[in-house]
Amino acid sequence: MRINKYIASCGVASRRKAEELILNKKVKVNGKIVEELSLQIDENNDVVEVDGVKISTSENTVYILLNKPEGYITTVKDQFDRPSVIDILSSVSERVYPVGRLDYETSGLLLLTNDGDLTYKLTHPKHEIDKTYVARVKGKLTEEEISNFRQGLYIEDYKTAPAKLRVIKYDNVQDVSMLEIKIHEGKNRQVRKMCKAINHPVLRLKRVALGKINLNDLKIGEYRHLTNEELNYLKNI
């Protein structure tokens, strides 16, 4: 089996993300760093590690919804030894991996699973699944800024896709605004960069929904398994 397909089958990442892990020298087979994307492995005999963690295929597929607290990374290992969201899942015996990422400073909805095919589907740009955030930002937005945000903004070397923005309220005393923001892309720190681009830096950020999947009354730091209805919805997007 090709190495990127094996990594996906273990639920670690999509095949595309698996290739990125290989190029970043995060993958070892039998103790040696993988140099070739086309490497074929024997899933029954070869020992595969990602970020120093041994991986294997799992018979039981699990689907977890976590209300991520601030101050947790969404990778398995971290060079600064910061806590990982994996540390929160004390009662989950299967090895699961985040579907996409949330910034260290960002809280809210995060899916975790060992279903590589679903991970690939949910992270592939063609599906354009809305990710809904509530952002607390500095200042009061003008109509022009709101319009520019909705049309897409130039950030670094790319222009973001059209996004949705709604002002929930403005606090005149503190000079801060609460915003509901919906994007379907998953660029690194995209919401923060978009708000900064219109001169309203993010003070707090929380993801509250992925498509029709919502946190509802799930408390910060708590997690639960997806319902059959939620899982069917994600698989049929």
Residues annotated as part of the active site: 103
**Interstrand relation of 48-50 and 32-33 (parallel, antiparallel or unpaired):** unpaired
Pair 82, 69: CB distance under 8 Å: no
Tell me the C-alpha distance between 66 and 72, whole Å. 12
User: E strands within the chain?
Assistant: 27-29, 32-33, 48-50, 53-55, 63-68, 97-98, 107-113, 131-138, 154-155, 158-159, 164-171, 176-183, 202-210, 213-214, 223-225
Tell me the C-alpha distance between 23 and 83, whole Å. 25
